[in-house]
Amino acid sequence: MTTDEASPWLVVGLGNPGPEYAANRHNVGFMVADLLADRMGGRFKAHKSRAQVVEGRVGAPGPASRRVIVAKPMSFMNLSGGPTTALRDFYKVPVGHVIAIHDELDIDYGALRLKLGGGDNGHNGLKSITKSLGPDYFRVRFGIGRPPGRMDVAAFVLKDFSAAERKELDYFVDRAADAVETLIVDGLERAQSTYNS
């Protein structure tokens, strides 16, 4: 096992802190992070990096399992880079082991796309992380679709999922958590071929 393989992974769910944002489309990264923490049997604890973190393992017990830190920055979306960089430094995570989970307007609701690197597509959370880390981290993009009619994008992402969307939300969040685990254990190609839609 190389040093890089032995290095921990940092999974950052993007969102805004506070109960008024909890069910917003923009907070789907937090929702996936919550489920991953749940699966690892951990509870979020405050960390000095201005994030809540859970440490655990992903994958089959034994040499194949990977050490993972799941984090929710408590800095608000457009400042996500500060806590992410602080956590990367604290846990000594290589940039190639950082995964950001975020909402994506240009993908249909519930569809997933996994990729390494790229632009921020106007997403303030990614913009902030890229400014701090550079672009070479993984992204798990969770489709939320475009706003209806002439609704402002900022208003759309800060609204809760619709009643129709909520019927399938748990299933899609579950699938996104599976995709993150597959990316960590089996690599990007396997995760893309299984989950990209």
Return per-residue pLDDT of the chain as tens, 197 residues: 444 667 999 999 999 999 999 999 999 999 999 999 999 999 999 999 999 999 999 988 887 789 999 999 999 999 999 999 999 999 999 999 999 999 999 999 999 999 999 998 889 999 999 999 999 999 999 999 999 888 899 999 999 999 999 999 999 999 999 999 999 999 999 999 999 97
**Residue tagged active-site, from 26, 47, 97, 102:** 26
- The per-residue pLDDT of the chain, averaged, comes to 93
Write out pLDDT tens, residues 127-137. Answer: 999 999 999 99
The answer to whether residue 97 is catalytic is no
Q: Which amino acid is at 105?
A: L
d(CA 54, CA 61): 18
DSSP at 1:
-
Helix (H, G, I), strand (E, B) or coil at 151: coil
Query: Do residues 19 and 160 make contact, with C-beta atoms less than 8 angstroms apart?
Result: no
User: DSSP of 92-131, one letter per residue?
Assistant: T--GGGEEEEEEETTS-TT-EEEEES---TT-HHHHHHHH
